[in-house]
Amino acid sequence: MRTNEQILDRMAEDLMLRGLATRTQQTYLTCSRLFLNWGGCPAETMDEENIRAYLNHLITKKELSASTVNIYSSALRFLFAITLGRNLNYRKIPRLKQGRKLPEILTRSEIVRIFNHASTLRNKAVLMTVYGAGLRLSEVCKLKVGDIDSESMCIFVCGKGNKDRYTLLSQTNLEVLREYWKSYNPVHPDGWLFLNADGSKQVHWRTIETAFSSAAQHAGISKKVSLHTLRHCFATHLLEDGADIYRIKQLLGHSSIQSTTVYLHLQTNFISELVSPLDTISKNAGKQAEGGGC
């Protein structure tokens, strides 16, 4: 019987062979390791009942959100179905129903304040690129110098799941990137655009998250936001400016239009153009009162 460490090593190999995103691989391995440590017995002796008990523990004891519990569920399904080659009865391990909570959106002036409070020119260039092109965190980390096409004013993106696409290159973004290039001269054998402090490798995703959080805090932003908020803002602001939802889908690299339509619920500019029926009915009632009876 294989040890749990041997099984986790095999799982890491399975995840890599299927080409899942690096962070997804790390997350699935962490979730599976926590489950095995909690169970305290060999993985090959465990079944759906152990998974149910653990998910129940996460919900009732740890009080994790539905989305987080479902990530654990996906990780354990992979562990058992792929790595252990077990046929699971998925009806015994249902996924939690998730409500739809709209993400916080920053105003354009708030975004400018965040840019102005970036601690370094590199961090400012990174944040502006995320917002200006609608990038994911992993995507901005993987940008290479050759991905910036100033002639066509577009950026080549190696997207989630190795799905390549092109997105916008803002003129403002380009000017800041040129300023960053002159100051930092980020020359690297692998061509990474944004490098770590000593220039030895590409910038780490945690560094970028920290840079955003620090800039947002110093800018006095009280909303609950993260770096990914800039991507949400990119799509929402494009929609408010009249961009087509299908073009936004392509720029974001969404596989399904359903993922993009959430931004229809985030735009607010159309609200000021409408009149509430309460105001309409109040005015009509007032006119009728002035006119009197027949």
Q: Is 165 a catalytic residue?
A: no
Check residue 227 and give its pLDDT.
Answer: 96
Pick the CATH number of 108-265 from 3.40.47.10, 1.10.10.60, 1.10.443.10, 3.40.50.920: 1.10.443.10
- Long-range contacts: 70-74, Cβ < 8 Å, 24+? 70/95, 70/96, 70/98, 71/27, 71/31, 72/31, 72/35, 74/28
State in words which class domain 4-92 has: mainly alpha
Q: Where are the alpha helices (DSSP H) in 197-276?
A: 205-218, 227-240, 245-252, 257-260
DSSP SS3 for 93: coil
Which residue, chain included where needed, has tokens 């009942």?
Answer: 49
Of residues 124, 231, 232, 237, which has the active-site annotation?
A: 231
Amino acid at 58: L
What are the start and end residues of each CATH 1.10.443.10 domain in the chain?
A: 108-265
pLDDT tens digits in sequence order for the chain, 294 residues long: 899 999 999 999 999 999 888 889 999 999 999 999 999 999 999 999 999 999 999 999 999 989 899 999 999 999 999 999 998 888 888 888 876 777 889 999 999 999 999 999 999 999 999 999 999 999 999 999 999 999 999 999 988 777 899 999 999 999 999 999 999 999 999 999 999 988 899 999 999 999 999 999 999 999 999 999 999 999 999 988 888 889 999 999 888 887 787 777 777 666 666 677 877 786 676 666 666 554
Of 160, 165, 188, 218, the active-site residue reads 160
Query: Known catalytic residue: 136?
Result: yes
180 is catalytic: no
CA distance 129 to 167: 11
**Are 191 and 181 contacting, i.e. CB atoms less than 8 angstroms apart?**
no
| Structure token digits, residue 164 | 């390549």
For residues 234-256, b (16+ Cβ closer than 10 Å) or e, as one string? bbbbbbbeeeeeeebbebbbbee
The pLDDT value given to residue 102: 79
* Among 2, 86, 188, 228, the one annotated catalytic: 228
pTM greater than the 0.95 cutoff: no
Phi, psi of 235 (to 5 degrees): -70, -45
pLDDT on residue 259: 76
**Domain boundaries for CATH 1.10.150.130 within the chain:** 4-92
CB 216 within 8 A of CB 237: no
Q: Which of 124, 136, 142, 237 is catalytic?
A: 136
DSSP string, 234-249: HHHHHHHTT--HHHHH
Q: What is the pLDDT of residue 20?
A: 86
Is residue 160 annotated as a catalytic residue, yes or no? yes
Reply yes or no on whether 231 is catalytic.
Answer: yes
Rounded-to-integer distance, Cα 56 and Cα 67, Å: 14
Q: What is the pLDDT of residue 266?
A: 74
Is 108 an annotated catalytic residue? no
